[in-house]
Chain A
Amino acid sequence: MGTLVGAIGYRQLRDHSAPFAMLDRLEAENLGADTAVEDVSYNPVALMQWLHGDAKGQFERAIFIAAVERAGRPPGRVDAYRWDGILPPPELIQQAVADAVTGIISLDNTLVVAGYFKALPRQVAVVEIEPLEHAFGTDLSPEVTAAVETAVDLVRLLATNPVAFDALPRAGIPEAAFYRAHAH
């Protein structure tokens, strides 16, 4: 079984497109026959269905890459963690599904929806970049441009070195961020 490197983001949305800059780089490299590099920024329900369907049993590990705004982080910071799999309360999962089927694309939603429906590989790592610019456009900010280099190196390491993957700290979706997006 292999590793899925999945980019989640928005194209042509300045720093929120950073995962695709990473994706282009990683696709051009040979990360090994067992590693699939995919744009998975479509409906999280569709991703869940793909993982349950055509890709069933194909991946032991997943590395999701995304540009995510988290409170208190400086632009361009790269964080990596193994997702602890802890889900929010059911009413927020329900809202995450509603968001997913109505077009919301986000790392947190993807983890919650695919996690709830037990579609994710056994081990999931996340590499996040803190974005700065979120206007329409293709250019990344200097901070995020620099972060892409760091993040690509990190993903390459995680995809090819299980020891490095296992050594990541375990963490959850920052609760405050998820609640802010979904709750009243």
Chain B
Amino acid sequence: MCFKNLPVEFDANGRASLRGGIPDPYAVAAGPANVPMQLSEAQVEELVRRNGHIKSVDFDPVTRVAGALAFHAVADFKEKRIVQARSVATLFRGYEVIMIGRDPRDAIYITSRACGVCGGVHSTCSALAIEMAIDCVPPPLGVLVRNLALALEFLYDNPLHLHLLAGPDYSAAIVEPTNRALFARAKTASAPGRDVHGYATIAALMEDLNPLTGHLYVEALHMTRLAREAYVLICGKYPHPQTIVPGGMSSTIHLTVMNEMFVRLAQFFDYGKKMAAIWDDLTAFFYEADPKYKEVGARRANMIDTGIFDLPDAYDASYKNAGAWGDRRWMTPGAIVDGTLVTTDLHRINMGLEEFVEHSYYEEWAGSGQRQRFPADPSGNPLSPYHPWNKITKPRPGGQNWKEKYTWDTAPRWDRLGMEAGCYARLWNTAVAQKQPPNPFIESTGHSLKLRIPKGALPEMDLEWQVPPVWNAFERNRARAYCVGWTAMIALNNWTAAMERLKDGDTKTSTPFEIPKQGERLGVGFWGAGRGYLTHHLLLDRGAVANYQIVTPSSWNASPTDRWSQPGPYEEAVVNTPLLEETDDPGEFRGIDVLRAIRSFDPCMPCTTHIHSDAGVVTREVNTCACGLDG
């Protein structure tokens, strides 16, 4: 059974329907079973009142993340645990409001601005939603080139996060002052991956993770350049591409472009090997030094992803066949609950999606007798009134109150569960589902994903990412590191297929289209960012956008506690994090373990929330108090 909490059942042919005999099937009283719960505000206040060692700590802003994220926690310095956590998106995104009434093609350029890293994924997701709404199928080369463009964007994103944003948390500059004994141990700990990454000891590796001066930090800046250069060959510019259109790509692709792209792509082959070795060694070192590090950022392995990178002979842009073409993607869609893959079907992933706003600065749109706009999707599957196609964005700014509203992020839930998003979700899906298209470089085994990465300066190497027995900050980073090589191999497969097309004289990259001016049409872009899950839900009415809803990876990860007191993923991960930092003085507390937990998700707050207020457009982050304790 795919759903345990939603009132949906399936017949012998897999057709979904609402369970009979339930008068209000999506009643919010029906909360999820067996989930962690936040302590209530009254419980926390009582704990703080009775215990001098329990104190509030605020991380505002959380630095080395994209955009404006604040975090409130209540820490028990005696037990060295966090007892409550609240994730706060401090700015309003507003794209859902901006898009209303516009020509849908505007979405490609406007929603791209949701992010300064992954504009292309938003553009692409828009293009897919439009394609579905207007029945426009891209030609094979258009699909391949789109895959290549987005793979290159991921090759910008993942190294950037690992060595510029999260990497410094594991650097000598951070580890030495916060865990002296650990750093002393690192000096004598040999690094098993030395032959690949070149570091004899873990301490040497940590030194090169130092921000600004470390070789790995500076190298990551260089690698982002290579990825950008390759990307702009097909997308015109970065981060807001100019060549993504419904029905494919408007780029002119020829052998010179492909060769120039390959020269840059090929440099990620060795880099992928090196990244995997570095994060394998770091993870093993921390686990061995103190098994409690397995609890840093730990939470249930509940994950969601829509998959990404279509096969040209499978993708037909239709909702009806989304289950079929989704299953044939290079990166497999899926929902994982408590470590078990429960579906790879895009219809079921879409069906289980809801957004709640009890603790968010929005008004309710469902309930109160309001008619549910779409009780079912275009294939007849039941939809919740809280589904994005039924959602109406009603911003309601207000004061921050932990009991009531405290964030601009909504609380997306799947089957009413707090799911996390990340490139690792699709890595896990793909490894387990064994639906990977046949190819020479990637194999899914049911419990792992094997990569055969060609020779560069390093020899050809076989890597294997194993589904981990625990899920935590280290495993997120390790999986993200493997995603570098994996993405490069998917790009290589698509590059090879595109070259075959070109050799055969096929240069067509897009299908002409017109926006129909009659009737209502639904579309959804199922795509993904370097950070994971992305959907754009679109309703067209007589050729104009009547509703537009974006759910990003950080919408899931940074989501607040929901109406059933179930924490969002950051919140849950932080509450489970032990404080392993060496300090007995709360005044000296830097919160490095909490920050490792949060940053391991690769937070991207511009995607989650954005930059428009009644007073104008905010072009930089803001912060809301002066009490940060960042490392």
Contact = CB atoms under 8 A, between A and B. Distances in A.
Given A46-B225, A95-B63, A135 B117 contact: no
Interface in A159-184: 181-184
Interface in B211-239: 211-212, 221-222, 224-225, 228, 237-239
B616 A135 contact: yes
A181 B621 contact: yes
B37 interface: no
Contacts of A106: 619-620
Interface majority SS on B: helix, strand, loop or mixed?
A: loop
Interface of A: 10, 13, 16, 42-43, 45-46, 49, 90, 93-95, 97-99, 101-106, 116, 133-136, 181-184
A42 B232 CA distance: 13
Given A90-B211, A103-B606, A184 B61 contact: yes
A115 to B, nearest CB: 12
Given A49-B225, A94-B168, A103 B616 contact: no
A183 B66 CA distance: 14
B619 A105 contact: yes
Interface in B597-631: 604, 606, 612, 616-617, 619-621, 623, 625-630
A182 B620 CA distance: 9
A16 B239 CA distance: 19
B66 A13 contact: no
B620 A104 contact: yes
Given A90-B211, A104-B620, A133-B616, A98 B64 contact: yes
Contact of B212 (A93, A102, A103): A93
A151 to B, nearest CB: 19
Contacts of B604: 102
A111 to B, nearest CB: 15
Interface string B36-68: 000000000000000000000000110111110
B64 A101 contact: no
B627 A184 contact: yes
Nearest to A136: B617
Given A93-B212, A94-B212, A184-B628, A101 B224 contact: yes
Contacts of B211: 90, 94, 97
A104 B65 CA distance: 12
B164 interface: yes
B115 interface: yes
Interface residues of B, number: 39
Nearest to B66: A102
Contacts of B606: 102-103
B61 A103 contact: no
B212 A97 contact: yes
13 contacts: A49-B222, A90-B212, A95-B63, A97-B211, A97-B212, A101-B221, A102-B117, A103-B115, A106-B619, A133-B616, A134-B617, A181-B621, A184-B625
Contact of A13 (B212, B617, B625): B617
Given A97-B212, A102-B117, 15 more contacts: A43-B238, A45-B225, A94-B64, A95-B64, A97-B211, A98-B64, A98-B165, A101-B224, A102-B165, A103-B115, A103-B117, A106-B619, A184-B625, A184-B629, A184-B630
B419 interface: no
Contacts of B224: 45, 101
Given A45-B224, A94-B211, A181 B620 contact: yes
B160 interface: yes
A102 B627 contact: no
Given A98-B64, A102-B604, A135 B617 contact: yes
Contact of B164 (A10, A13, A98, A133): A98
Contacts of B239: 43, 103
A163 B55 CA distance: 59
Residue of A16, A98, A103, A133 ringed by the most chain B CB atoms within 10 A? A103
Contact of A101 (B164, B626, B627): B164
A45 B623 CA distance: 24
B116 interface: yes
Contacts of B627: 184
Nearest to B625: A184
Nearest to B119: A103
Contacts of B67: 102
B619 A16 contact: yes
B212 A116 contact: yes
B71 to A, nearest CB: 12
A3 B221 CA distance: 26
Contacts of B621: 99, 104, 181
Nearest to B620: A181
Contacts of B63: 95, 98, 182, 184
Interface in B164-182: 164-165, 168
A135 B160 CA distance: 31
A142 to B, nearest CB: 17
A90 B64 CA distance: 13
Contacts of A181: 620-621
Contact of B116 (A103, A134, A184): A103
A181 B66 CA distance: 14
